[in-house]
Structure 1
Amino acid sequence: MISVVIPVYNGEKFLEETYKTLCGSEEKDLELLFVNDGSTDKSAELIKEFQKKDSRVKYFEKENGGIASSRNYGLQHAEGEYVCFLDQDDFVKTDMFSLMLEDIRETNADFVQAGTNRIVNGIEEPACMEQGQTVIEKGQQLYDFYLQTLVMRGVTPHPECKVNGSIWSCLFRTDFLKKNHITFYKYCDYEDDWIFCILAYRAAEKICLERKTVYSWRVHNQSESHNRVVKDRYLTHFYENYCEMRKFFLDAVNSAQIEQTDLRRYQCELQKMALLWSLSNETGRGIAGRAEKESIAVMRHVVQEEKRNGIYPEINQNTLSITGYGMTGLKYKYHVFRDKFLTFLLLHHMIPAAVWLNKKVLHGRWHV
């Protein structure tokens, strides 16, 4: 049986559609755990209606504590041999569970991670329809993969499909997660899935990458990673939260058995992330009503802190692109140039120019 954990917070607008995609799944041996995280709308009523007509539906209610605590709550109550996590407003393809179940059994992997795509304003991005596996076993290859995902947030096992550093399209063996004490950590609430994936990569003996797109992430103003309430709560102090999260990343990188030059490269990239993610937060879809003058002041503080902490002089020469990983051709070159140029402006006391450019010209893109 597969346990599907679905955290819910004021999701009445999307729950019925998401539930319908679960009902349409080829694999029927599912346990559907809806965890109501203190919703104030009609989410509870909807889930109870699902429960009346579907014995697989289990309903849990808890005080509001964020998506990380809701996922942990669902994981604690999961009874299936396998477990996966679904956001309340996203969709699964009809063959998602059957395909990943086949993959995990065939390869004997600790977990399977498949392809995702986005639905932006009702328009679905191209999906990879070709099935195929890439198996990565414990050793340097898996560690390289883990480090790439740690810093770059994605790998490309196949040119047509990007596998993101996210739990959305993963199927885990439940005993693997419990044996290794892998749970969700809340630094920045919307990044808990990334950290969960890093812990899973580090503990795994074998993972299976499935190139086929099986999960559609819906991007809209009310989605978890774009929700204004979440942003007002967590992103107001984004840099402070990020510094806490980065301690985890640095410990992970420092524990790797890699050359000193590679270690320095990863540390550089983590520091660049602090700068560019803070800039994106300040100038993009982040703080509601933040004045440009305030954003400039915040970014000055971020840059001063990063320099005080020993930012590396070669950070501008780093050829990696945080947001462009997995891309090729002109699009990749654009992201490399953009990241390097914005970093250059920030580190050379041209912070107002960086804030203006990212806000007015680049529109402060949070996700690429």
Structure 2
Amino acid sequence: MESMPLISIIMPVYNAEQYLASSIDSLLAQTVKDFELLLINDGSKDNSLAICREYEARDSRVRVFDKPNGGVSSARNMGLDVAQGEWLMFVDSDDWLTENTLELCLEHTPENDVVCFAFRLLYKDNTSYDKPLCATKGLRDYFKHQIQRRGGVRACGALYRRSIIADNKIYFTPGIIYGEDWLWAMRVTLCCKKIKPLTHSFCYHYNLMNQSSCTNTMSVRKVIQQLKVLKIIKECLAQTDALGSASNYRKHFRDTRCSVVLDALRMFSPKETCEHVIEVYDEITFIDRWDVLLADISLRKKIRLFKFLRYCRANGLPRS
């Protein structure tokens, strides 16, 4: 009987033929060889599946799964269901890792449940930017930082103890496109005892050269879904005492709420912004005057938020 691999690397694949081989090669070249690579083809319409099959035929560590298109969350969830390793890692199909990434992470196990590392951002003009992780003191400090990072939290860039995820049935939420990583990572954090951030180990090469500019067309959904994710995270925190009560994180939720509304005001009119908030919270008191006064933001931003709240009151928009 074959022994289980030490690590399962899950890679969702969708129309990724341009960078897929480079991404897979970076994984197969790791100095640590005891892993399985799970390639989850999510209904690709290009040559991605054929490329995956070629690697599967050449290397016994590669396992390919083909499914109808359902989005990155459903592909990752399939990977979670078939993974066999003691540890888990996610890598996107157009990104790649430095060759000693797994080795570096394993140096900090088994005393940690998650080992996360930093990103090197790669741009179209062939420039790059190293994005270090914030140095945090303990799990609560890490959780506070993650609340405020919002879209900056990604499932990639970390090694996870699989039993934490399997025992607590932590899956990605289908239907959430903006913030699915944020929500999943926060749920994992709530179940962990210890997390190790490798603040200046820039192991994950995050490819921004292949991103289309769809910000404007998707902005409404982005705002709504970030509001939903923030609400779910707070509800999850209220259901556990692992990191103390939600009141310990009041400032961080408050600052993040204000940031989301400010993002919305940059894209929409006050009326549209209010409607998007109400769509999630059924009330405009999602943010109030005390939130604005106490928020860790500039005076200019506070004035903008006060004008927004005044507009809501003047127009009789719903309040609790």
Deviations 1:102-159 (A, max 9, x none): 2113xx211211222211223221377xxxxx896xxxx42232133123459xxxxx
Q: Does 2:65 match 1:60?
A: yes
Whether the aligned pair in 1 keeps the contact of 2:136 and 2:142 (CA below 8 Å) is no
Instruction: Give unmatched runs, 5+ long, in structure 1.
Output: 129-133, 155-163, 283-293, 321-335, 352-368
Q: How many residues align?
A: 297
Q: Does 2:97 match 1:100?
A: no
Whether the aligned pair in 2 keeps the contact of 1:119 and 1:218 (CA below 8 Å) is yes
Match of 2:189, SS state, is helix
Residue in 1 that maps onto 2:78: 73
Q: Normalization by structure 2: what TM-score?
A: 0.80
Deviations 1:81-100 (A, max 9, x none): 21100011111011101110
**Distance change (3 Å), C-alpha of 1:257 and 1:237:** same
**Distance change (3 Å), C-alpha of 1:296 and 1:308:** closer
Residue in 2 that maps onto 1:219: 208
Residue in 2 that maps onto 1:341: 300
Question: What is the one-letter code of the residue matched to 1:205?
Answer: K
Whether the aligned pair in 2 keeps the contact of 1:111 and 1:173 (CA below 8 Å) is yes
Deviation at 1:343, TM superposition (A): 5.4
What pairs up with 1:21-60 in 2 under 5 angstroms? 21-60=26-65
Q: Does 2:190 match 1:202?
A: yes
1:167 to 155, 168, 174: 155
What pairs up with 1:100-179 in 2 under 5 angstroms? 100-105=105-110, 108-121=111-124, 122-126=126-130, 141-153=138-150, 165-179=153-167
Match of 1:145, SS state, is helix
Q: Does 2:21 match 1:8?
A: no
2:228 to 231, 236, 244: 244
1:301 to 269, 275, 289: 275
Match of 1:273, SS state, is helix
Q: Does 2:68 match 1:82?
A: no
Residue in 1 that maps onto 2:254: 268
Question: What is the one-letter code of the residue matched to 2:21?
Answer: E
Match of 2:179, SS state, is helix
Runs of 4+ in 1 over 6 A off after TM superposition: 303-307
Q: Normalization by structure 1: what TM-score?
A: 0.70
Whether the aligned pair in 1 keeps the contact of 2:120 and 2:204 (CA below 8 Å) is yes
Residue in 2 that maps onto 1:311: 287
The percent identity for this pair of structures is 25
Whether the aligned pair in 2 keeps the contact of 1:276 and 1:343 (CA below 8 Å) is no
Residue in 2 that maps onto 1:357: none
Residue in 1 that maps onto 2:317: none
Distance 1:145 1:349 in 2: 32
Match of 1:5, SS state, is strand
Question: What is the one-letter code of the residue matched to 2:112?
Answer: A
**Distance change (3 Å), C-alpha of 1:183 and 1:115:** same
Deviation at 1:18, TM superposition (A): 0.9
Whether the aligned pair in 2 keeps the contact of 1:187 and 1:241 (CA below 8 Å) is no
Instruction: Give unmatched runs, 5+ long, in structure 2.
Output: 1-5, 311-320
Distance 2:274 2:153 in 1: 30
Distance 2:250 2:31 in 1: 47
Distance 1:89 1:143 in 2: 33
**Distance change (3 Å), C-alpha of 1:46 and 1:341:** farther
Distance 1:53 1:184 in 2: 31
Whether the aligned pair in 1 keeps the contact of 2:277 and 2:286 (CA below 8 Å) is no
